[in-house]
């Protein structure tokens, strides 16, 4: 079989290192690519916690010294086989021997400059794997397509290797001073121009990925269109329009084995599409007791699991909480982030004891219980490249209320009371009044139209959010850029 060899480059991957949704994508997609006829492997930094936890399983492959400007640095290469998938790790104690994945931004630019250069030095003989395609994810890997062009192909190395660059969140671009990046990347002057990797006079890793990659993807079709507009383009909309011919959107999937209410060991009562009423009632009562909410089965329970940052529309939610409670709605929130938002939510929970619960910590088991207990899932994001939470919520029969942006637009079909179709509720403007009106409309259906509500829940629980279709689309992109044609399945 003429398998396409893919090396996925990322700063995060479950179960090794997770900060956001990137980790979930990288931890899942390669497994589904294997079913599409790809030999997909992953490479990431060997963070301190990975080295400590997997010390007995890591296999040392080689080390070399990597020159970065005036520095000469050790770079180690390790391999670990994880549930049938090969994962490589780049080792350097100075850069990655820390408890956190991300540190100071300026230092992170240096750390991931080293990482990208070490990845390219490791391909081929050192790892006994020469990929057909390097799949680069976000700014932490955005310079790899340019580095291949600047340092390797011109010298006869990796000449057949192609690159695909995936933008998970355009807001974070990898920007640093021109002298520093020229030094760290040993970048010739030809590349340090506005036509190449500079944006407004400074190197921009996301721009470099867009310009030099053979194909560019984003994590939903709507986000691919949105980022070509000034409103969502974060200053790169002009560049994206210029290279629109190689940009496409592929919707993320979710791990339907982990998030399955029929088998989930973390929820108090398991259930499926045919018996969800009984199962969710038990889960709702359990969560109300656990979080100190009034045990009221008739009260709509609106839940949110999120990072507490501006992007997620937390400001909109905060300004509607008093009126939601006044309408007889309970609210349960789990998330950490901006300390100001954490304080505001804690204060609201204190004022509305028994009606609002706010947990400023991430606990995976609790998150599963919240997904299973909720009636409504709130996701009023100002922008959302893809979003996984709305898909997970629907899987558990929790009806989403979302703002119409990015992947939320692609996955949530608004309820139509005339046709009875839909799997959720949505609103267009970044406006607290629209959020409030939409939640109240959803609660009216919950209370007064049980047949319609059953249809909404059933549609969400039966929707296909697996990685199968998305992996097939990624495999198609890899096949096209590598020239290997259709992928054998």
Assign 482 a pLDDT band (cuts: 50, 70, 90): very high
Question: Half-sphere exposure of 131 toward its Cβ, with a 13 Å CA cutoff?
Answer: 27
- Residue 39 inside a domain? The answer is yes
- Residue 358 inside a domain? The answer is yes
Per-residue pLDDT for 489 more than 70? no
Per-residue pLDDT for 485 more than 80? no
Do 201 and 347 share a structural domain?
A: no
Do 134 and 68 share a structural domain?
A: yes
The pLDDT of residue 484 is 83
Task: In whole angstroms, give the CA distance from residue 424 to residue 31.
Answer: 30
Do 299 and 332 share a structural domain?
A: yes
Determine whether 466 is exposed, middle or buried from the number of CB atoms within 10 Å of its CB (0-12, 13-18, 19+).
middle
- Residue 260 inside a domain? The answer is no
CATH of the domain at 58: 3.40.50.2000
Least confident of 238-242, 298-302, 393-397, 414-418: 414-418
Q: How many domains does the chain have?
A: 2
Q: What values do phi and psi take at 341, rounded to 5? A: -65, -40
- Residue 478 inside a domain? The answer is yes
Do 191 and 104 share a structural domain?
A: yes
For the stretch 47-68, pLDDT in tens is 999 999 999 999 999 999 998 8
| CB distance 78 to 88 below 8 Å | yes
- Residue 80 inside a domain? The answer is yes
The pLDDT of residue 488 is 43
Do 458 and 472 share a structural domain?
A: no
| CB distance 261 to 272 below 8 Å | yes
Average pLDDT over residues 234-257: 95
Do 100 and 218 share a structural domain?
A: yes
| CB distance 434 to 382 below 8 Å | no
- Residue 265 inside a domain? The answer is no
- Residue 264 inside a domain? The answer is no
Task: In whole angstroms, give the CA distance from residue 152 to residue 262.
Answer: 50
Q: The whole model's pTM is what?
A: 0.90
- Residue 269 inside a domain? The answer is no
The pLDDT of residue 420 is 87
Domain of 364, in residue numbers:
276-462
Task: In whole angstroms, give the CA distance from residue 309 to residue 302.
Answer: 19
Q: Which of 345, 331, 436, 409 is nearest to 376 (CA)?
A: 331
Residue position matching structure tokens 């990015």: 406
The pLDDT of residue 1 is 54
Do 367 and 474 share a structural domain?
A: no
Do 337 and 288 share a structural domain?
A: yes
Per-residue pLDDT for 232 more than 90? yes
Do 284 and 222 share a structural domain?
A: no
Do 474 and 428 share a structural domain?
A: no
Do 300 and 224 share a structural domain?
A: no
Do 313 and 216 share a structural domain?
A: no
């Amino acid at each position: 079989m003429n398998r396409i060899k893919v090396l996925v480059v990322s700063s995060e991957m479950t179960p090794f290192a997770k900060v956001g949704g990137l980790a979930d994508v990288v931890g899942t997609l390669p497994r589904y690519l294997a079913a599409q006829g790809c030999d997909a492997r992953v490479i990431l930094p060997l963070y301190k916690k990975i080295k400590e936890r997997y010390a007995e399983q890591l296999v040392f492959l080689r080390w070399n010294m990597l020159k970065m400007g005036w520095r000469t640095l050790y770079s180690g290469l390790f391999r670990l086989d994880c549930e049938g998938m090969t994962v490589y790790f780049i080792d350097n104690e100075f850069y990655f021997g820390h408890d956190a994945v991300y540190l100071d931004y300026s230092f992170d630019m240096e750390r991931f400059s080293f990482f990208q250069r070490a990845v390219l030095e490791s391909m081929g003989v050192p790892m006994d794997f020469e990929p057909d395609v390097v799949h680069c994810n976000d700014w932490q890997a955005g310079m790899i397509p340019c580095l291949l062009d600047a340092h390797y192909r011109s010298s006869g190395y990796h000449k057949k290797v192609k690159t695909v660059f995936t933008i998970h969140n355009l807001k974070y671009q990898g920007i640093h001073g021109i002298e520093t990046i020229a030094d760290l990347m040993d970048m010739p002057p030809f590349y340090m121009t506005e036509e190449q990797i500079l944006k407004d006079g400074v190197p921009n890793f996301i721009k470099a990925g867009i310009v030099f990659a053979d194909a560019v993807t984003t994590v939903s079709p709507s986000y691919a269109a949105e980022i070509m507009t000034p409103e969502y383009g974060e200053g790169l909309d002009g560049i994206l329009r210029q290279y629109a011919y190689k940009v496409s959107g592929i919707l993320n999937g979710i791990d339907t084995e982990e998030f399955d209410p029929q088998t989930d060991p973390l929820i108090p009562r398991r259930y499926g599409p045919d018996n969800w009423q009984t199962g969710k009632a038990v889960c709702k009562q359990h969560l109300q007791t656990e979080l100190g909410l009034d045990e009221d089965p008739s009260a709509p329970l609106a839940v949110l699991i999120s990072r507490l940052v501006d992007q997620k529309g937390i400001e909109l939610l905060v300004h509607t909480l008093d009126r939601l409670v006044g309408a007889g709605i309970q609210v349960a929130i789990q998330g950490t982030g901006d300390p100001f938002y954490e304080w505001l939510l804690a204060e609201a929970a204190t004022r509305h004891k028994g009606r609002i619960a706010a947990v400023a910590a991430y606990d995976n088991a609790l998150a599963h219980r919240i997904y299973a207990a909720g009636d409504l899932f709130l996701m009023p994001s100002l922008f959302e490249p893809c979003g996984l939470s709305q898909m997970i919520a629907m899987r558990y029969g929790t009806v989403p209320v979302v703002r119409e942006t990015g992947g939320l637009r692609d996955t949530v079909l608004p309820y139509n009371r005339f046709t009875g179709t839909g799997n959720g509720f949505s609103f267009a403007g970044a406006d607290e009044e629209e959020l409030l009106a939409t939640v109240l409309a959803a609660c009216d259906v919950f209370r007064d139209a049980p047949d319609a509500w059953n249809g909404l829940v059933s549609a969400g629980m039966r929707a296909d959010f697996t990685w199968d279709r998305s992996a097939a689309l990624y495999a198609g992109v890899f096949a096209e850029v590598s020239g290997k044609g259709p992928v054998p399945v």
